[in-house]
Homo-oligomer: A and B are copies of this chain.
């Protein structure tokens, strides 16, 4: 380990001067600075994080607490977004995934305390309320993809209602009037919010909302134990004499089964049926033929914004923190939706 002292000796200056060079303290003669910088480079000196952290009593590390990163593959983008934003701030990330186990979570809060992390991004893989019990955790916490029922922490969540609106709106603009919905489990907050979005768009388009066209594509609790029944549900919709000309899906997996059901009945997508996904899982949307039009869950963006909010939270200078940030879900138009007469 090359230390500050080693560099100082080599350079013939005091350790403090080397420290100044490392920290870009302007109070160093240009000549000295350059000489020292050269030696630092030559000796491959890297300041010891532990010592620094100890002296300064806080670290440049941010904790990321997640429950089940694996359920929705692309929710990983929250991690990517967080990481990307942190990089810009020259910070790094300590990651903890708890599998939803409260005991593990408690352990990791201790770890974060021990590491004196500068703050924590608390991310969940479903958009849902959480209740954070963190004895004595003094640093800032920002919730990503979840929100505090007690409004105790700022949160960054996808605008599911807007996403639902976007799905319906796009189809209506293409001239569809009979629109089926194959939705996620009704216990999910996303389902409720998007439902509100559909209804707003329907009302704007002068379309009455027909409950019999709104069927669940998943049944059971959405934590691995659920069943995907979208195929049968869609068959039901498509066999009606007044079958819908378009179907809005709760996610892209449902869309896969809608495609299958359409194929079974000899219906062509998008000629006979337009299909609109949600999530924009590229593994699916770009793989299906025709490629699936979908509305993206802005996970990367959510991670990025969460870090931004965290920075504001910590900059105690009255940095303005938004209690809840709604991140829009943009339409990604591909080939599965078509204009109707």
Contact between A94 and B287 (Cβ–Cβ < 8 Å)? Answer: no
A133 to B95: give the CA distance in the assembly, Å. Answer: 25
Contact between B70 and A113 (Cβ–Cβ < 8 Å)? Answer: no
A241 in contact (CB, < 8 A): no
Contact between A49 and B116 (Cβ–Cβ < 8 Å)? Answer: yes
A47 to B116: give the CA distance in the assembly, Å. Answer: 10
Q: Mark A60-90, 1 if CB is under 8 A from B, else 0.
A: 0100000001100110110110010001000
Q: Report A270 CB to chain B, min CB distance, Å.
A: 14
A28 in contact (CB, < 8 A): no
Copies in the assembly, this chain:
2
A53 to B253: give the CA distance in the assembly, Å. Answer: 47
How many interface residues does chain A have, given as a range?
A: 35 or more
A61 to B260: give the CA distance in the assembly, Å. Answer: 47
- Chain B residues near A83: list those with CB within 8 A: 95-97
Q: Report A135 CB to chain B, min CB distance, Å.
A: 6
A49 to B110: give the CA distance in the assembly, Å. Answer: 11
A49 to B256: give the CA distance in the assembly, Å. Answer: 49
Q: A50-B54, A80-B97 are in contact. Are A281 and B111 (CB under 8 A)?
A: no
Nearest B residue (CB) for A56: B50
Among B70, B116, B228, B281, point to the contact of A76 (Cβ < 8 A). B70
Q: A76-B70, A287-B253 are in contact. Are A94 and B93 (CB under 8 A)?
A: yes
Q: Mark A198-228, 1 if CB is under 8 A from B, else 0.
A: 0000000000000000000000000000001
- Chain B residues near A284: list those with CB within 8 A: 256, 283-284, 287
A234 to B53: give the CA distance in the assembly, Å. Answer: 59
- Chain B residues near A47: list those with CB within 8 A: 114
A48 in contact (CB, < 8 A): yes
Among B80, B115, B231, point to the contact of A70 (Cβ < 8 A). B80
Among B51, B93, B95, B257, point to the contact of A287 (Cβ < 8 A). B257
A113 to B50: give the CA distance in the assembly, Å. Answer: 11
- Interface CB pairs A-B, < 8 A, 28: A46-B110, A46-B114, A48-B116, A49-B50, A49-B114, A49-B115, A50-B54, A50-B115, A61-B94, A69-B79, A70-B77, A73-B281, A79-B95, A79-B97, A92-B94, A92-B96, A93-B94, A94-B94, A228-B286, A231-B289, A253-B287, A256-B284, A256-B287, A257-B289, A259-B260, A260-B289, A281-B283, A283-B283
